[in-house]
């Protein structure tokens, strides 16, 4: 396959459209199916497995599709409406939370997976933004789903942390005890009209700080993977706002992203895949399977964690934080590695370490999702605009005592 060189906004829109196509074509489009609207977790490796987080990003994708005239408003409205109906009636879960992986045909649990708080939240964010954009029955159904969630059930009352996972066979395990991708949990949960939690949950989790070279005071995440600095920011516009302790999460993600890129530059002599334009260490597919790769600062042994794979969505999903660097990375990936490009745009990863270079053949929903939403937020701010219009989101930020006078609820 021959790829003609492409740059700048033209390439950004091209990658957006291809990412959007994943959520349209890898979905259950059978209107007579109990799983209508469910979207695959992966394009190849799990043919009948949907991910609830993929559905969240897919709902946002419908908005982006309408705005770019890739789908009609009527078709997108109907699809969003019926997808939320599928969750109301058929998707398996408990206390308003859903199983992470579900059968794409009927919404039932798959892989003996957990009921996931973070993946439920990503789905809810997609439902909320779809509700604000489409209104009508969509906003009514989004509110039904949001009000069902019993946030208090998922809270460890002794530690005042959210648990990380739950299985009926095992109970709860783990804790969201330090900063990661979970900021959305607190905004959604404190504002719940049915099962709210106290705002102290947001202020109680650990905020570990460290430097990388001359990038100072990064509130870092355990694994150092870029998705942890991106996922909540895909929905919530934290730009130019601080909490009552003066923490600017948007600026923190800028610093963490720059540190991630610098780590790749600093290690390019050790790793053939890394350089100033080939960076973005995050969770994704590698020759070893699905792993979490990261950069300093973090609390893991990176020599054991990283295998030299670069995942394009790491740099692309950071475009709102490092626009120049991310655009150069997109251009580098596209223009230098034809094997990295396919029907849904840039694939999930590549690795040049061995004599036999490795290029993923696969696409993952959450990786294409963070690309699609962040590319749109960079160009147009559509998802930020409509998500920040939601009354519960606005109230959540107010309860958490973010600097309300600086919050732009209309646009970036």
Per-residue pLDDT tens, the chain, 412 aa: give them.
Answer: 556 798 999 999 999 999 999 999 999 999 999 999 999 999 987 789 999 999 999 999 999 999 999 999 999 999 999 999 999 999 999 999 999 999 999 999 999 999 999 999 999 999 999 999 999 999 999 999 999 999 999 999 999 999 999 999 999 999 999 999 999 999 999 999 999 999 999 999 999 999 999 999 999 999 999 999 999 999 999 999 999 999 999 999 999 999 999 999 999 999 999 999 999 999 999 999 999 999 999 999 999 999 999 999 999 999 999 999 999 999 999 999 999 999 999 999 999 998 889 999 999 999 999 999 999 999 999 999 999 999 999 999 999 999 976 666 654 4
* Residues pairing with 50 in the sheet: 40, 102
Residue (of 161, 96, 157) closest to 124 by Cα position: 96
Residue-level pLDDT at 412? 41
* Packed helices 8-25 and 52-67: angle between N→C axes, nearest 10 degrees: 130
Q: Is the peptide bond before 314 cis (omega within 30 degrees of 0)?
A: no
Largest Cα–Cα distance in the chain?
Answer: 59
Whether this model's pTM surpasses 0.95: yes
- Asked if 188 contacts 121 with a C-beta cutoff of 8 angstroms, the reply is yes
C-beta atoms surrounding 2 within 10 Å: 4
Q: How far apart are CA 98 and CA 107, in angstroms?
A: 10
Give the per-residue pLDDT at 45.
77
Q: Which of 288, 254, 273, 283 is nearest to 365 (CA)?
A: 283
Q: State the CB neighbour count (10 A cutoff) for residue 1.
A: 6
Which pLDDT does position 143 carry in this prediction? 98
d(CA 323, CA 57): 21
* Distance separating alpha carbons of residues 102 and 53, to the nearest angstrom: 11
CATH of 8-404, one of 2.40.50.180, 1.50.10.140, 1.10.275.10, 3.40.190.10: 1.50.10.140
Please state, in angstroms and rounded to a whole number, the distance separating the CA atoms of residues 392 and 143.
10
Instruction: Quote the distance between the C-alpha of residue 342 and its chain's center.
Output: 21
Q: Which DSSP letter does residue 388 get?
A: T
The C-alpha atoms of residue 295 and residue 305 are separated, in whole angstroms, by: 10
The token duo for 341 is: 């490009």
How far apart CA 280 and CA 225 sit, in angstroms, is 8
How far apart are alpha carbons 10 and 24 in whole angstroms? 21
For residues 301 and 145, what is the distance between their CA atoms, to the nearest angstrom? 40
């Amino acid at each position: 396959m021959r790829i003609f060189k492409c740059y700048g906004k033209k390439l950004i829109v091209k990658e957006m459209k291809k990412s959007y196509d994943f959520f349209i074509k890898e979905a259950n489009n059978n209107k007579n199916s109990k799983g209508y609207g469910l979207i695959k977790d992966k394009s190849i490796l799990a043919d009948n497995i949907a991910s609830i987080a993929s559905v969240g990003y897919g709902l946002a994708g419908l908005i982006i599709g309408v705005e770019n005239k890739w789908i009609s408003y009527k078709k997108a409205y109907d699809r969003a409406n019926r997808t939320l109906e599928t969750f109301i009636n058929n998707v398996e879960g408990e206390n308003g939370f859903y199983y992470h992986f579900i059968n794409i045909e009927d919404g039932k649990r798959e892989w003996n997976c957990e009921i996931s708080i973070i993946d439920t939240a990503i789905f809810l964010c997609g439902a909320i933004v779809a509700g604000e954009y489409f209104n009508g029955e969509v906003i009514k159904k989004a509110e039904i789903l949001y009000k069902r969630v019993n946030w208090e059930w998922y809270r460890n009352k002794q530690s005042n942390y959210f648990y990380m996972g739950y299985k009926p066979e095992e109970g709860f395990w783990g804790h969201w005890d330090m900063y990661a991708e979970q900021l959305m949990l607190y905004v959604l949960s404190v504002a719940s009209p049915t099962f709210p939690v106290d705002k102290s949950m947001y202020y109680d989790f650990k905020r570990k700080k460290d430097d990388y070279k001359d990038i100072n005071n990064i509130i870092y995440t355990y694994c150092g993977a870029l998705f942890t600095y991106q996922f909540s920011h895909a929905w919530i516009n934290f730009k130019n706002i601080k909490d009552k302790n003066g923490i600017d999460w948007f600026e923190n993600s800028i610093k963490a992203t720059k540190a991630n890129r610098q780590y790749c530059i600093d290690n390019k002599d050790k790793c053939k895949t890394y350089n100033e334009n080939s960076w973005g260490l995050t969770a994704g597919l590698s020759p070893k399977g699905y792993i979490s790769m990261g950069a300093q600062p973090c609390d893991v042994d990176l020599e054991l964690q990283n295998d030299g794979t670069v995942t394009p969505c790491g740099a692309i999903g950071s475009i709102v934080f490092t626009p120049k660097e991310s655009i150069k990375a997109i251009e580098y990936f596209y223009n230098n590695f034809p094997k990295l490009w396919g029907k849904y745009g840039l694939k999930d990863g590549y690795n040049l370490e061995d004599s036999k270079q490795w290029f993923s053949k696969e696409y993952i929903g959450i990786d294409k999702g963070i690309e699609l939403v962040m590319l749109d937020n960079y160009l147009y701010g559509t998802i930020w605009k409509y998500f920040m219009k939601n009354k519960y989101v606005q109230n959540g930020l107010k309860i958490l005592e973010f600097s309300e006078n600086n919050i732009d609820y209309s646009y970036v």
